[in-house]
Chain A
């Protein structure tokens, strides 16, 4: 599908980006080492593991869950996560009656500090176009079918708020520690296109 493809060869965008970096470096506007540092940060440290820790804490610490729902920016900063695209975080909680799904129809806004950079499907035209008009159809693309009575709430991140879905804690995980729970929380569950599964015994 157009918009999802990847140009990995060395012509086209690769040559243009190289030219851009060279010119801006010559002009003293950027420092290649700073680029290395940013890339490393988002490739190794800022990612969905952060969000998973937030969710696991909310599952195991009722007071934290309350703080997270009241002010997610503050609650997320408590465990050390903040940064670009995370200045105004809001957590929305899935329940037996309500399922939340996050999209950005106009571009691809995403809560970087807790989920890292968005996957290609989140940025795809298919997701951006259909998540608001056919959320159940989109969930079916991920193999998720919700009971008819469940209300689906789609959050279109059209301004400065960035959303984190708190998925439901699966049954059979009552004895798992916070750390172990963080291991089973997936990125997709925190965008709202999947449920968290209990590990198989």
Chain B
């Protein structure tokens, strides 16, 4: 989903302000919240992807107004209610009167991808791309969870490394199947991402699943039966 969580390249959040001698947690409730999540994810048999997606589905204004562990809290409430483990009423009944019921915001509803058949049992999927291949981030705008940020969609990069086969976050977050596929480190020049005025000595390496990528046709024609890797475009040092 094109949510407010997809922050790469946004402006206006001001300088980064590190805190001196920062404690691991800033309040007792943060401690409890952190400690809750790992057992909770296990108890509800949820993938981390589902948890991340529940954070992304917070109403945008609330997302921006919440601290990190407040977002975890909202996601935990959302997942538990959606899974039918607890009801909103139960949550509210347990809380004292000081809590505004509106704080437990309803998550933004989304439609996930259609379930995919699991073909992983047989042989591992082969890699469509190899190191040095030029690729483009596809212009995908799924309504559900995705790990393809807006800032690389439609942009050209180079495969720097093939990390191997990983389950696909976009389907896993919706319990729509594992859809295992290769995931690559793709290098994008800053000028490709941010325009000609960007620094030519800066580059972003981002990890992208194969479904997010399309090949960039090379000018020198190779015979159709040779297809891949007959021509090698410009390489980027890994």
Contact = CB atoms under 8 A, between A and B. Distances in A.
Interface of A: 1-8, 11-24, 27, 29-31, 34-36, 38-39, 42-43, 47, 84, 88, 105-108, 116-117, 119-121, 123-130, 132-133, 135-136, 138, 141-142, 148-161, 188, 193
A159 B64 contact: no
Interface stretch (B13-21, B116-124, B220-228): B13-21
A152 B203 contact: yes
Contacts of B199: 136, 152
B16 A107 contact: no
Contacts of A3: 13, 64-68
B203 A154 contact: yes
B25 A43 contact: yes
B178 interface: no
Given A29-B85, A105-B7, A108-B68, A16 B77 contact: yes
Contacts of B158: none
A17 B32 contact: yes
Interface string B168-199: 01000000000000010100001001100011
Given A7-B27, A149-B201, A106 B35 contact: no
Q: Which one of A22, A129, A149, A158 has the highest number of Cβ atoms from chain B below 10 Å of its Cβ?
A: A158
Interface of B: 5-11, 13-19, 22, 24-36, 38-40, 43-44, 52, 55, 64-70, 73, 76-77, 80, 85-86, 90-91, 94-96, 98-99, 103-104, 147-149, 151, 163, 166, 169, 183, 185, 190, 193-194, 198-199, 201-209
Nearest to A127: B16
Nearest to A124: B16
B36 A24 contact: yes
A117 B18 contact: no
Contacts of A127: 16
A126 B202 contact: no
Contact of B77 (A20, A29, A132): A20
Q: Which one of B99, B104, B149, B194 has the highest number of Cβ atoms from chain A below 10 Å of its Cβ?
A: B99
10 contacts: A1-B13, A3-B68, A7-B70, A15-B96, A16-B103, A30-B39, A129-B9, A133-B194, A157-B207, A159-B209
B67 A4 contact: yes
A47 B22 CA distance: 12
Contacts of B30: 6
Contact of A152 (B11, B76, B95, B201): B201
B193 A133 contact: yes
Q: Which one of B8, B40, B77, B190 has the highest number of Cβ atoms from chain A below 10 Å of its Cβ?
A: B8
Contacts of B39: 29-31, 34-35, 38
